[in-house]
Amino acid sequence: MTEEKTIESNQLDHSLRYEISEKVGAKSLLKCIQCGVCSSGCTVSEYIDLQPHRVVASLLLGLKDIILESNAIWTCSLCHRCTERCPKGVDYSFILALLRNIASKEGKIPIEYSSTVETISENGFVVPYTGRMKNTINRRREKMGLPEVSSPDLDEINYILKETGLGNLMKKSKEDED
Ligand code: SF4
Ligand code: SF4
């Protein structure tokens, strides 16, 4: 059974609603009629703790912390089915992408994501290309007549991470380790 939680009115924070509304159009969220069509067709609905129509309702109500701490933001596969099916034209998948950006800026990002950025920074690859893994990949490439993987320019990669702000996510990963 879902645990009920009481939220006092002075705990509500509408900043998220305004921030999202600025990007999707002030009236877009208000068009939602809570029909639940987005949730009924969501491809990851069984894995998320907050269904799409509830995220929209929570946005309107000012339940910022509940939304940013929900796994719905990160479990979404961005298949866009919710957006395609919404009878009121609410672009939920875009809203979710915006929520990811906002959560990241506030440091509310799963360790799996922040540590991936760290791996890219240190190795230049999403999966470390070192040790036995490197030998196996090289052997297979040789068999297929492919050239060796060229070494990535880590300075260039780290410059991009810094300039795009992605590098800030590594701090989060380090904080979680401490
Ligand atoms: S399908 Fe659209 S209108 Fe219906 S609950 Fe979802 S966002 Fe709201
Ligand atoms: S885009 Fe995300 S929220 Fe929308 S239906 Fe797909 S998985 Fe569900």
List domains and CATH numbers for the chain: 9-105 (1.10.1060.10), 111-177 (no CATH)
* Stretch 40-46: mean pLDDT: 95
pLDDT class of 174 with cuts at 50, 70, 90: low
Taken in order 69, 62, 87, 26, the sign of the CA dihedral is negative
pLDDT band at 38 (very low <50, low <70, confident <90, very high): very high
Given pLDDT bands bounded at 50, 70 and 90, which one contains residue 171?
low
Answer yes or no: is the C-beta of 54 below 6 A from any ligand 1 atom.
Answer: no
For the chain, the average pLDDT equals 88
Q: What is the mean pLDDT of residues 111-129?
A: 87
Q: Is the CB of 88 under 6 A from ligand 1?
A: yes
Structure tokens at 34: 């809570």
Cβ 94 vs Cβ 24: under 8 Å: yes
Nearest C-alpha neighbor of 38 from the set 91, 77, 74, 75: 91
Checking if the pLDDT of 57 tops 90, the result is yes
Average of per-residue pLDDT across 163-177: 70
On whether the CB atoms of residues 34 and 57 are closer than 8 A, the answer is yes
User: Would you state the pLDDT for residue 151?
Assistant: 86
89 lines ligand 1 (CB under 6 A): no
Q: How far is the CA of 131 from the centre of ligand 1 (A)?
A: 49
Q: Which range (13-27, 51-65, 142-156) has the least confidence? A: 13-27
pTM, rounded to two decimals: 0.77
For residue 104, the model assigns a pLDDT of 86
Distance 113 CA to ligand 2 centre (A): 19
8 A C-beta contact, residue 75 and residue 51: no
Measured over the CA atoms of residue 81, residue 43, residue 59 and residue 31, the dihedral's sign is: positive
Of the chain, the percentage scoring pLDDT greater than 90 comes to 52
Q: First-to-last CA distance in the chain?
A: 34
Q: Can you list the pairs that 83-89 forms with residues at least 24 positions away whose Cβ atoms lie under 8 Å?
A: 83/38, 85/37, 85/38, 85/41, 86/37, 86/38, 87/33, 87/35, 87/37, 88/31, 88/32, 88/33, 88/35, 89/28, 89/31
